[in-house]
Structure 1
Amino acid sequence: MSTRHTYDLGVIGNCAYLALIRQDTSVQWLCWPRFDSSFVFGSLLDTRKGGEFSIKPAEDAAFNTRQYYLENTNVLCTEVESAEGRYRVTDFAPRFAQYDRNYKPLMFIRKLEPLEGLPRVRVVCEPVADYGQQQLTRRRSSNHIAFLGMEEEMRLTTDIPLTYILEQEGFVLTETRYLVLTYGAPLEAALHSTAEEFLRKTVQYWQRWVKSTSIGNFYQTQVIRSALALKLHQYEDTGAIIAATTTSLPEAPGSTRNWDYRFCWMRDTYYILTAFNNIGHFEEMERYFHYIANISTKVRDKYQPLYSISGAAQLTEQELPLEGYLGNKPVRIGNDAYTHIQNDVYGQVLVALLPLYVDRRFVGAERADSEKMMYEALRLIKETMDMPDAGLWEFRHIAQYHCYTYLFHWAGAHAARKVARYLGNTEIELMAEELTRIAAGKIEECYDAQRGVYTNAIGSPHLDASGLQLILMGYLDPNSERARTHLRELEKELKTPEGLFYRYRHPDDFGTPETTFLICSFWYVEALACVGRLDDAAREFEKLLGYTNHLGLLSEDVDAKTGSQWGNFPQAYSHVGLVNAAYRIAKRLDRPNFV
């Protein structure tokens, strides 16, 4: 068996920025001032141009590390042990309530503590700008180093002698030290007491957040970690939720399927909102609703498949002169998928709007423009009903009449019909009723009666894991023989012996997919639970937990043969899948303490 590749990384963040920290303490990825800005540390994609921020043993001898989160938080600890001693680096992004708001500065705090012996450490801090194309100039002050050349000043404030950092000299760690890196507003307060207070308040914030979630006993620890990871991917300023922290980590080595995932995909809306609803987190749902509503007011002719975190529409794809993750090129920023026709988005928006009406926590004012949005989405469904599209998986040069698109036409119109009835809007109700019927007819055109399965598109023989959603969205009655047969056929063609699921097995623009897509595996688990195969669902769910990294974090793709993690990381969508699958099983189990 080949060596298993996992991302040796932990994620921290505060809903204003995200950072990835390796087990050797190096910051492999940190973009400032936004999720989709240039990295200031990006050695994940280029070991020479990516800059460095690390706290390693001064002697270049071997050392061991252990990385873990403080329980129920996004505060990351890395313990390092060498021949000279042992020390701990605690990394966190401050986040806590202050003056009736969440305090979430562009501030990265590293606490450095000696644990045993007399460890000698070397601190390197060399940020870069413009994706490694620009070196920053340094200015030394009495207690900080300023890095100049970006729009705003970056500053490292520390009680470590600046000479040791500037000259990258090793020193003996005899007492606790602090490093605070800021972008824009610097740290003006006392270093030690402020860092400790921010750490205490941040730990408290995350632990309270977890306490306020409604999570059953089914693999509770793993669901909590997924919920915490998912929360970090919401850019709180606008409410957008990005697909993943990174760009250009390959879906498989040498595949060139290296995409920028730091954007908000409309097609993920329903699943993400379902996940937050399943863990009882209303605030995140509400923020995301507002982001979607803001985009909806700007839409004229069509929704794009994705938008930036600010709602910007143009996401021009570019290739950067970087070496790539483990040499995998190209490195891309932007994503040309924004130009694609992906017609399931209209149904996604309608299904997402439904809670505005059926959830009594929302009040009337929040529904103000929703009737207009609903009418516009239905109009766009009607206009695109006979139009081929790129589909869920965003084929770049293949347009088909996709079953999944018609499923969301059906689900969106179905949701609109309920809402229209609730509002007493007969015009919208009749329009929605007609579109529900037409969409159902189109879905039935995808049915292969000989095999008893719905194919991926009208006239196509190929199967696609998105067909699992016919069961999950309630189009197929989960108690029916048709649903069970459909699921068995998808299993036969797309499931690996290890329980993983391919998106599809037929060639696309880049050849035949080499890795399985983790969200599809979680959809499979949900479908098993839906059709009443609960023991199978629980067993397959447990298998999937084996594909996390050392911290319980999930990538986008998994190589079925080696169990290797590939694709962008951490992948919010995979964590959404875990949360929703666990919820579906827990709900069906009459044994709450199953595990």
Structure 2
Amino acid sequence: MRAEPLLPTAPALKHTYELGLIGNCAFLALIGTDTAVRWLCWPRFDSSFVFGSLLDTRKGGEYSVRPANGTVLGSRQYYLENTNVLCTEVETADGCYRVTDFAPRFAQYDRYYKPLMFIRKLEPLTGAPRVHVSCDPVGEYGRKTLSRRRSSNHIAYLGLEEEIRLTTNIPLTYVLEGEDFALNEPKYLVLTYGAPLEAPLESTAERFLGSTVDYWRTWVKSMSIGDFHQDQVIRSALALKMHQYEDTGAIIAATTTSLPEAPGSTRNWDYRYCWMRDTYYILTAFNNIGHFEEMDRYFHYIANISTKIKDKYQPLYGISGSSELTEQELDLEGYLGNQPVRIGNDAYTHVQNDVYGQVLVALLPLYVDRRFVNPERTNSETLIYEALNLIQATMDIPDAGLWEFRHLAQYHCYTYLFHWAGSHAARKVARALGNAEMEALATKLNEEAARRIEQCYNPELGAYTNAIGSPHLDASTLQLILMGYLDSSSERARTHLAALEKELKTPEGLFYRYRHADDFGTPETTFLICSFWYVEALAVVGRTDDAIREFEKLTAYTNHLGLLSEDVDAKTGSQWGNFPQAYSHVGLMNAAYRIAKKLDRPNFV
């Protein structure tokens, strides 16, 4: 019998998040290319979803504008230029229609108006499309079904702490009974939590739309950026801005929870919190684009936490500064069936000692940047002393490290790097305050941290390993170059970077965090911010052409709107992990800034 020829293996499909993000620094929502709201948490970033089909198609509720016959011939999704106003155009056999989605944000009465209000504008573009509008919010992560009450011009959804209200000029009967209708003129849907819309519908929605567009475009105009991949830097900055919970100043890691780092990996975490480890990088990003207001708010969030902590800092806190983030697993399908679905994050219980240096580096501008006035530097000596004392107390204590290993404690190079950087920052503060005693303590700790970093150096590899006595390389040690511990022109910086390239870089230019096994096995996907750290390091050591080439490779891993995930599968280019990942956008912004400075183009401001 003749054997059948082997069929060629089909290439793995590329997975991307076909979702657009809207927000106003009070809430965030993710909207699919079919107009369905896949994710919306109210009243806070870390609240239960009211629409969450991203994690459960049965329990997640629905809010969509679909063709009457259910058949979509094509769709196109885009942002109005230099805004966070999202447009989705849907083509059907009957015609084409557009849904414009936005969260109002603009200046009013010397403050920013940022209500828990989600506005959708429906308008026909061609033909005579018939559409079907569904609005079915849920509570308590899908465990609670809300009751509905019809009023004169709105539908109230009851059962949560406050009322959700849908105000619309679409006949309520069509929405309540699921009837389709001809879309032959603009229609408006205004969904609110708590305070309802009590103003004319059409004119108010149009006024809010115009004011929101103006706000975002003015915000973009005030950015100080070069012309290197300017469009992507703008989109990343707009995405990062939306992740700041303006009420407290906290910046969350990502919009979502429990999107897997790789399919079937069970690495499904809740990222709707503020990680102290990323403070330095976020503030650097805002400083690089010249945005002082966001820095100011985030400083106050960090300073508020600093004043109430005495014994130790946690790796992460809630957006209100809450310290207890108990992890739970929910009875939900999970994204594409990936379980578990988690809320809360037990990483708050971990020992992660780099946070003290992170806080000192973050707070440094409060004491040396003259844009901050004296009242913002109150209690300064106490704050600095407490952080320095915590560095001193933890110098000989192993920790979970940057990547938050759950069952492994080591003396991590990255932790000692931030002991070094934090004490260096404290020394500057001490000089600004004229405090010789503080300066002496900071100098002593700085020298001790440097001694520990050197214990991580492996002469056979010509590189620094991830921890004292460890043979493993780790992308976090790229920060030895970026933070200035290693002289960028030195042979040691060159060989260290070369060793990391050899061990952690993929042919596609992506970077793994590490390649050794952890609590969940060997990592399957690359971590996008590490790839951008690599680009930064190339720029810092003078390999500018390499940095540009690798940066441009990374821009291929955005979705259709320029939004970045946490992780990327190097083999398929697939996006995985929570989305959008604020820190991936931070990485892009900082890498672009380093390259633009190296290019030193005349129009760089």
TM-score by length of 2: 0.98
Partner of 2:335: helix, strand, or coil?
coil
Task: Output the CA distance in 1 between the equivalents of 2:543 and 2:14.
Answer: 30
Distance across 2 between alignment mates of 1:198 and 1:557? 36
**Aligned pairs, number:** 594
Contact 1:66 1:80 in 2 (8 A): yes
Contact 1:87 1:119 in 2 (8 A): yes
Given candidates 446, 454, 462, the residue that maps to 1:444 is 454
CA distance in 2, matches of 1:425, 1:487: 38
**Paired position in structure 2 for 1:147:** 157
User: CA–CA distance in 1 between the matches of 2:381 and 2:239?
Assistant: 34
Residues 593 and 543 of structure 1: CA distance in aligned 2, closer, same or farther (over 3 Å): farther
Task: Pick from 506, 524, 528 the counterpart of residue 496 of structure 1.
Answer: 506
Which of 454, 459, 471 is 1:461 aligned to?
471
Query: Quick one: which of 452, 460, 480 aligns to 1:470?
Result: 480
8 A Cα contact 1:417 1:432, kept in partner: yes
Partners of 1:474 and 1:397 in 2: CA distance: 31
Give the match for residue 159 of structure 1: 169
The structural deviation recorded for 1:593 is: 7.5
Q: Does 1:562 align with 2:536?
A: no
1:570 is paired with a residue whose SS is: coil
How much has 1:360 moved relative to structure 2? 1.4
Equivalent of 2:119 in 109, 113, 119: 109
After superposition, residues 153-552 of structure 1 pair within 5 angstroms as 153-552=163-562
- Name the aligned partner's letter for residue 524 of structure 1: Y
Which runs of no fewer than 5 residues in structure 2 stay unpaired? Answer: 1-10
Deviation at 1:424, TM superposition (A): 0.7
1:358: Cα distance to partner?
2.4
The aligned counterpart of 1:577 is 587
* Kept in 1: contact 2:535–2:550 (CA 8 A): yes
Letter in 1 for 2:318: S
Partner SS state of residue 393, structure 2 = helix
Of 91, 104, 120 in structure 1, the residue corresponding to residue 101 of structure 2 is 91
Distance in 2, matches of 1:63 and 1:215, equals 39
Give the partner amino acid of 2:504. L
Which residue of the partner structure matches residue 17 of structure 2?
7
What is the aligned partner in structure 1 of residue 74 from structure 2? 64
The Cα shift of 1:370 comes to 2.1
What are the superposed Cα offsets for residues 217-260 of structure 1, whole Å, 9 maximum, x if unpaired? 00000000000000000000000000000000000000000000
Deviations 1:365-415 (A, max 9, x none): 111122211110000000000000000000000000000000000000011
3-state secondary structure, aligned to 1:253:
coil
Structure 1 unaligned blocks of 5 or more:
none
Read off the aligned partner of 1:329 and give its amino acid letter: Q
- Code of the residue aligned with 2:412 in structure 1: it is H
Q: Please state if 1:31 is matched with 2:41.
A: yes
Moved more, 505-514 or 358-367: 358-367
In 2, the alpha carbon distance for the partners of 1:370 and 1:10 equals: 42
Query: Displaced runs of 4+ in structure 1, greater than 2 A?
Result: 590-594
Q: Distance in 1 between matches of 2:205 and 2:358?
A: 43
Amino acid at match of 1:441: R
Residue 43 of structure 1 corresponds to 53
> Alignment identity in percent?
81
3-state SS of paired residue (1:435): helix
SS of 1:326 mapped into structure 2? helix
Aligned-pair CA distance for 1:423: 1.2
Residue identity matched to 2:313: Y
- Shift, 1:142, TM fit: 1.1
Amino acid at match of 1:317: E
Contact 2:248 2:301 in 1 (8 A): yes
CA contact (8 A) 1:11 1:74 kept: yes
- CA-based RMSD of the aligned residues comes to 0.8
How far is 1:444 from its partner? 0.2
Contact persistence 1:36–1:263 (CA under 8 A)? yes
SS of 2:359's partner is: helix
Q: Deviations over 1:192-225 (max 9, x none)?
A: 0000000000000000000011011000000000
Of the candidates 89, 97, 120, which is equivalent to residue 79 of structure 1? Answer: 89
AA aligned opposite 1:214: S
Contact 2:248 2:297 in 1 (8 A): yes
Alignment partners' CA distance in 1, 2:441 and 2:71:
71
Shift of 1:63: 2.4
Deviation at 1:592, TM superposition (A): 5.4
CA distance in 2, matches of 1:330, 1:421: 50
SS where residue 124 of structure 2 aligns?
A: strand
